[in-house]
Amino acid sequence: MTATLHIWPGCEVPAGRLAGAHGLPTHKIDIHTFPDGESRVTVVPCAGTAILYVGLDHPNEKLVQLMLAATALKDGGATRLVLVCPYLCYMRQDMAFSAGQAVSQRVVGRWLADIFDRVITVDPHLHRIATLGEALPGIEADALSAAPLIAEALAGDPALRNAVLVGPDGESRQWVAAVAAQAGLDFIVAEKERFGDRQVQISLPQAGRAKGRPAVLVDDLVSSGATVCRAAALLQDAGATRIEVVAVHVLASAADMDRMRAAGVVRLQSTDSILHASNSISLTPLLVSALQGEG
């Protein structure tokens, strides 16, 4: 039975590319917000597999609406629910760092696992767990990597010949190394200590390797840009000829973007996991491959 793709408001462009490449019929999800903040969610009923496409940035309202949409699809005859969310929220907190904190990864992961049969995401921000399945127990959980797509974009850019890639912290080493290997580029890794959402201390022991070369900061997530700004300053001091940033997910506001430009970043590129002005790399090939067999 053919699968159908149900598209969240605001996701029409990337979801449309996916539908076209995979040959999926599409339906829009309609969301109406009442004056008191409650939501009325309306879907097009379908049988068989229903694939929901949504980016879970700014997630709190969306999570309630997602529960309503999924329930409506099941009530309407869907026998299998697949969530395609290139950016998956609440994966960063996998433990309580002080007494009384909720472990959001565990709560949201189990909640999604109770609703969906399969969840497909891209480079989730995991720290102390090895697989996405640990956060989404009992279902199919696919954590795709955008590293090959990013490496292809970097390798094909004449402005970045002989560039050095820069990982923002030790946790990024394995990911940046994979991008560098596939792009045929050199890489170094910074050391970071975080004191708050916008307060970080960065050191770059091998910054000298950027002298006279373009430098590209590569990360899975750019939120406030605080880390980018500090690293860019160090790279400028080291004599980098050009500083760029490429990330899978970008949440930065317009003010954050201005601060990064002021810090010396000449270009910020991202995948289309989240609708953002920096989008330049389509995740469609990755998602089409993952969805083979779903309709």
3-state secondary structure of 193: strand
Q: Which pLDDT tens digit goes with each residue over 138-156? A: 999 999 999 999 999 999 9
The answer to whether position 97 is within a domain reads yes
The answer on 155 and 141 residing in a single domain is no
The answer to whether position 277 is within a domain reads no
The answer on 134 and 81 residing in a single domain is yes
Distances, alpha carbon 58 to alpha carbons 88, 140, 213, in Å: 10, 24, 37
Mean pLDDT rounded to a whole number for the chain: 93
Q: Given this model, what pLDDT does residue 196 score?
A: 57
The answer on 34 and 98 residing in a single domain is yes
The answer on 137 and 27 residing in a single domain is yes
Q: Which pLDDT tens digit goes with each residue over 271-281? A: 999 999 999 99
The answer on 159 and 249 residing in a single domain is yes
Q: Residue 206, Cβ neighbours under 10 Å: how many? A: 14
The answer to whether position 33 is within a domain reads yes
The answer to whether position 169 is within a domain reads yes
Report phi then psi at 14, rounded to 5.
-65, -35
The answer on 107 and 21 residing in a single domain is yes
3-state secondary structure of 280: strand
The answer to whether position 252 is within a domain reads yes
Give the type of residue at 200.
Answer: V
Residue 61 has pLDDT above 80, yes or no: yes
Q: Which pLDDT tens digit goes with each residue over 220-253? A: 999 889 889 989 999 999 999 999 999 999 999 9
Sign for the pseudo-dihedral over CA of 186, 155, 258, 11: negative
Distances, alpha carbon 115 to alpha carbons 44, 119, 166, 196, 202, in Å: 18, 10, 39, 33, 41
The answer on 184 and 245 residing in a single domain is yes
The answer to whether position 295 is within a domain reads no
Q: Which residues of 51-66 are buried (b: 16+ CB within 10 A; e: fewer)?
A: bbbbbbbebeebeebb
Q: Given this model, what pLDDT does residue 173 score?
A: 85
What's the average model confidence in pLDDT over 196-208? Answer: 75
**Structural domain of residue 167, as residue ranges?**
147-272
The answer on 135 and 188 residing in a single domain is no
CA torsion angle 53 62 194 126 (round to 10): -40
CA distance 169 to 280: 24
The answer to whether position 119 is within a domain reads yes
Which token pair is 188? 């170094």
Residue 197 has pLDDT above 90, yes or no: no
Q: Which pLDDT tens digit goes with each residue over 173-196? A: 888 999 999 999 999 998 877 655
The answer on 121 and 201 residing in a single domain is no
The answer on 135 and 24 residing in a single domain is yes
Q: Given this model, what pLDDT does residue 199 score?
A: 65
The answer to whether position 162 is within a domain reads yes
Q: Given this model, what pLDDT does residue 200 score?
A: 66
Give, for 182, the enclosing helix (H) or strand (E).
helix 173-183
The answer on 98 and 185 residing in a single domain is no
The answer on 267 and 199 residing in a single domain is yes
Q: Which pLDDT tens digit goes with each residue over 48-58? A: 999 999 999 99
Q: How confident is the model at residue 207 (pLDDT cuts 50, 70, 90)?
A: confident
Which token pair is 13? 């462009």
CA torsion angle 153 159 160 163 (round to 10): -170
Strands 78-84 and 118-122: parallel
Could you tell me which residue, 126 or 124, shows the higher pLDDT? 124
Number of separate domains in the chain: 2
Residue 94 has pLDDT above 90, yes or no: no
Q: What is the CATH number of the domain that holds 243?
A: 3.40.50.2020
Q: Residue 127, Cβ neighbours under 10 Å: how many? A: 11
CA distance 128 to 116: 24
Which token pair is 109? 């992961």
Q: Which pLDDT tens digit goes with each residue over 10-39? A: 999 999 999 999 999 999 999 999 999 999
Q: Given this model, what pLDDT does residue 92 score?
A: 85
